[in-house]
A and B are shown apart, each in its own frame.
Chain A
Amino acid sequence: DVKVTQSSRYLVKRTGEKVFLECVQDMDHENMFWYRQDPGLGLRLIYFSYDVKMKEKGDIPEGYSVSREKKERFSLILESASTNQTSMYLCASSLPPVREQYFGPGTRLTVT
């Protein structure tokens, strides 16, 4: 079975802190994604990566950056956390070009 793991289930950070969210997949998938999910807004794509060291902006990249140094790991970075970044963050992976995505359990981030 595909397994996607995320470093934390729950995270509480203060405004202005730098936040790292880690995602690891064990199925040798080329594609990896970071989404945020908010009530009433559905899933919104922040960034995705189709290969090591490659990244593409999604719909809402502002305030975020990403890093993919190894195929199995994709990190989301909040350079300076703000309260409007309080959300559920979901990582996913898939085979190319666009196949079914497999999701991690999510990280509920609260910025105070």
Chain B
Amino acid sequence: EDQVTQSPEALRLQEGESSSLNCSYTVSGLRGLFWYRQDPGKGPEFLFTLYSAGEEKEKERLKATLTKKESFLHITAPKPEDSATYLCAVHPDSNYQLIWGAGTKLIIKP
């Protein structure tokens, strides 16, 4: 069964304290992996798409990487405005739908 698991469920960091969020997946074949940011009460905002193992994408303090089993979202020197829930979704070969993870709630304290 296709599955996406994000960890941790929640992460509290001090401003400037770098860390990583994990998205592990079990799918028959990967067509693409997507990262989104969601602020409270709003729709998810698209961040990155990764298609193959070894690929990396960067945007400001965020860098997404992909292996054959998981993806990491690295956050370097985060600021309070990076606080949000980060969602991961996978498009498997076997399905036309995205498989969504439950998200990681990131809190950055000043």
A103 engages B43 (CB within 8 Å):
yes
The interface stretch among B15-23, B69-77, B95-103 is B95-103
Q: How far is the CA of A13 from the CA of B96 in the complex (A)?
A: 33
Task: Name the residue on A nearest B46 (C-beta).
Answer: A100
Binary A-proximity of B83-110 (CB < 8 A = 1, otherwise 0): 0000101010000111011110000000
A43 engages B43 (CB within 8 Å):
no
Please give the distance in Å from B10's CB to the nearest CB on chain A: 13
- Which residues of B are in contact with A by a Cβ distance under 8 Å? 31-32, 34, 36, 41-46, 49, 87, 89, 91, 96-98, 100-103
Q: How far is the CA of A100 from the CA of B33 in the complex (A)?
A: 9
Binary B-proximity of A73-112 (CB < 8 A = 1, otherwise 0): 0000000000000000010100001111111111010000
Most A Cβ at <10 Å: residue of B34, B42, B87, B101: B42
Q: How far is the CA of A104 from the CA of B34 in the complex (A)?
A: 17
Size bracket, chain A contacts: 20 to 34
A42 in contact with B101 given A102-B46, A106-B41, A108-B41 (CB within 8 Å) = yes
B43 engages A104 (CB within 8 Å):
yes
Task: Name the residue on A nearest B103 (C-beta).
Answer: A42
Q: How far is the CA of A100 from the CA of B41 in the complex (A)?
A: 21
A98 in contact with B32 given A42-B101, A42-B102 (CB within 8 Å) = yes
A98 engages B98 (CB within 8 Å):
yes
Contact pick for B44, options A45, A48, A90, A98, CB 8 Å: A90
Binary B-proximity of A42-68 (CB < 8 A = 1, otherwise 0): 110100100000001011000000000
Q: How far is the CA of A92 from the CA of B96 in the complex (A)?
A: 15
Binary B-proximity of A1-20 (CB < 8 A = 1, otherwise 0): 00010000000000000000
